Structure 1
Amino acid sequence: MSQMTRPDTSELREKYPDLFDRPAAARLATPVMILAALAIFVFGLVDLDFSPGKLISGISQLGWITMMMIPPDLGASLPLYLKALGETLSIALLGTTLAAILALPVSLLAARNIIPTNLIRFPIRRFLDSIRGVDVLIWALVWINVVGLGPFAGVLAIMVSDFGAFGKLFSEAIEAADRKQVEGIRASGGSALHEIRFGLMPQVLPVIAGQVLYFIESNTRSASIIGIVGAGGIGLQLAEQIRVLEWQKVSFLVLMILVAVAAIDFISTKLRFAIIGKRAVA
């Protein structure tokens, strides 16, 4: 085998001058960004009063609390806890379902292939961004002051928070849909509504269903958190037991939440595969 000839550096320099003679700004950009990130990181540690001593003492305190939580004990409160868990699941299910129903028509107006002009699409997208930018816990505090304590405020908080997220996700799924089916319906004389109903929706509905199922699982955890601030559900019971230092009951409530989330994840996975299977057969 003949030895490969070594390329001439001068010829390569003449052919690709940008690679050999990069400006100083381009060469220093990456090191400067790394140094800036490290400086921000160090400043954050100092500004937030990060202390290794506090961390070590906190870990030992966490270990003590963990030992106090073993073994889990429900006492005589199982019916009350099951009712609270049912409230949490209802909050997650109702809030997510209402958000999906309300977000679907709005997502059509936010999709580029449905509304090509920015005059309508831009304010709708910014409206969805503003809603999505507020955390569900903040929405829970807002709705508690509007409608009072209880699960109704939790449903409204999850509904509003997920409305912004679903609007973005649904519109992106609609924009990613294949245009061939839409063009086929248009060529056969179908109207714009026919294009959406028979060209876009059959493609995006399985994707939307998968997203909704995932959010139901995720919102089960969110409903537990917003219950701590007074939105009902098992989070309210969890906050009360933490307040009175009943750590064994706290661990039992945490286990109930974990089992519920695992069960919902199992069911939603089965449903997603069933939806995907039906789509493949179709």
Structure 2
Amino acid sequence: MSLTQHDIDAARARVPLAFRAPLPVRLRRYALWALFTGLFVWCLYDFDITPQRIWIGLGRLGSVIGFMFPPHVWTSWAEFLPILDGLGETLAIAFLGTVLGAVVAFPLSFLGAKNINRLNFLRLGTRRGYDVIRAFETLILALIFIRAFGLGPLPGILAIAVSEIGTFAKLFSEAIENTSEKPIEGVKASGGSRLQQIRYGLMPQVNPVILSILLYNFESNVRSGTILGIVGAGGIGFLLADRISAYRWDEAWSIIFLIIVMVYVIDWLSGLIRTRLIGKTDLAK
């Protein structure tokens, strides 16, 4: 039996309260929307975000973009070599930081997985440690390490590695917790030790997820490495900041374009690696 619009209108006329939320629920919704709107308007006012300021800023932004075109083309290998060195250094910083973070985070992730670590106080303490590490932004860590180790790639590598320890450990432990117990029970029934259960029953389930996480974060760390270079942690970001501070906008745009190309190539290669090692996912199924 299908209801017509006439039937619905008649039922709404007979019992109107059945077609809308109760008064307390509606009042809470109105209060939340009023709070959200008030907070949004207050932020606009407190941060001095006005149409006039935005209009003036857009005009200046247009001038800056105009200075970027046409992009600069390096005519000699001696001029272009430092740019290539900066791109390679950024790539190396991201790679080493990702690998070091994963190496430290991998064993820590087992301490945070409830199906591996049955001691609640140790597991919860380890997870809170993940949160403490992730609370520090990579840029803040880079500034701290620059003060300790000086300028160059080392602070950038350490900043990415420490930041990724918290991220990787959390994601790895969640992947370990979401595995099926059946393969582990099969290894156990065959007489396998606890270590063998993890090696042959759990890790084959976790490895594709870990690989996907590593590849994605490596792509992200390449972009982060560019930002770290601006504060003195090495890489192409240092050259980009130098060109911007010297108002050499055409060269700055060329460097930005090369960074975009590098990130695109890394994303493409990561997709190939995922397809080769994990397999192609058929979204149509």
TM-score by length of 1: 0.90
Q: CA deviation at 1:43?
A: 1.2
Aligned to 2:27: 28
Aligned to 1:106: 108
CA separation in 2, counterparts of 1:201 and 1:278? 20
CA separation in 2, counterparts of 1:20 and 1:184? 54
CA separation in 1, counterparts of 2:2 and 2:69? 73
Aligned to 1:48: 47
* Identity across matched positions, percent: 44
CA separation in 2, counterparts of 1:59 and 1:150? 35
Aligned to 1:213: 215
Work out the number of aligned pairs and report it: 275
Most deviating of 183-192 and 114-123: 183-192
1:99-119, CA deviations, whole angstroms, 9 ceiling, x for partnerless residues? 111111101110111113321
RMSD: 2.7
Aligned residue identity for 2:52: G
CA separation in 1, counterparts of 2:281 and 2:96? 26
Aligned residue identity for 1:61: R
Most deviating of 89-98 and 269-278: 269-278
Corresponding residue SS for 1:277: coil
Aligned to 2:160: 158
Aligned residue identity for 1:171: S
Is 1:68 the counterpart of 2:70? The answer is: no
Corresponding residue SS for 2:279: helix
Q: CA deviation at 1:191?
A: 2.1
Corresponding residue SS for 1:177: coil
Give the direction of change, closer, same or farther, for the CA distance of 1:266–1:22 in structure 2 (3 Å limit). Answer: closer
Give the direction of change, closer, same or farther, for the CA distance of 1:3–1:122 in structure 2 (3 Å limit). Answer: closer
1:101-155, CA deviations, whole angstroms, 9 ceiling, x for partnerless residues? 1111101110111113321111111111111111110111011011111001100
Give the direction of change, closer, same or farther, for the CA distance of 1:176–1:64 in structure 2 (3 Å limit). Answer: same
Aligned to 1:247: 249
Corresponding residue SS for 2:151: coil
Aligned residue identity for 2:276: A
CA separation in 1, counterparts of 2:3 and 2:68? 72
Aligned residue identity for 1:39: G
Q: CA deviation at 1:165?
A: 0.7
Asked if structure 2 preserves the Cα contact closer than 8 Å seen for 1:206 and 1:279, the reply is no
CA separation in 2, counterparts of 1:51 and 1:150? 40
Most deviating of 72-81 and 251-260: 72-81
Aligned to 1:228: 230
Aligned to 1:37: 36
Q: CA deviation at 1:266?
A: 0.5
Q: CA deviation at 1:257?
A: 0.3
CA separation in 1, counterparts of 2:133 and 2:26? 41
Aligned to 1:93: 95
Aligned residue identity for 1:52: P
Aligned residue identity for 2:86: A
Give the direction of change, closer, same or farther, for the CA distance of 1:68–1:121 in structure 2 (3 Å limit). Answer: same
1:216-236, CA deviations, whole angstroms, 9 ceiling, x for partnerless residues? 111111000010000000000
Corresponding residue SS for 1:111: coil
CA separation in 2, counterparts of 1:278 and 1:151? 36
Is 1:237 the counterpart of 2:239? The answer is: yes
Q: CA deviation at 1:277?
A: 2.2
Is 1:193 the counterpart of 2:195? The answer is: yes
Aligned to 2:174: 172
Most deviating of 258-267 and 192-201: 192-201
Corresponding residue SS for 1:193: helix
Asked if structure 2 preserves the Cα contact closer than 8 Å seen for 1:210 and 1:272, the reply is yes
| Unaligned ranges ≥5, structure 2 | none
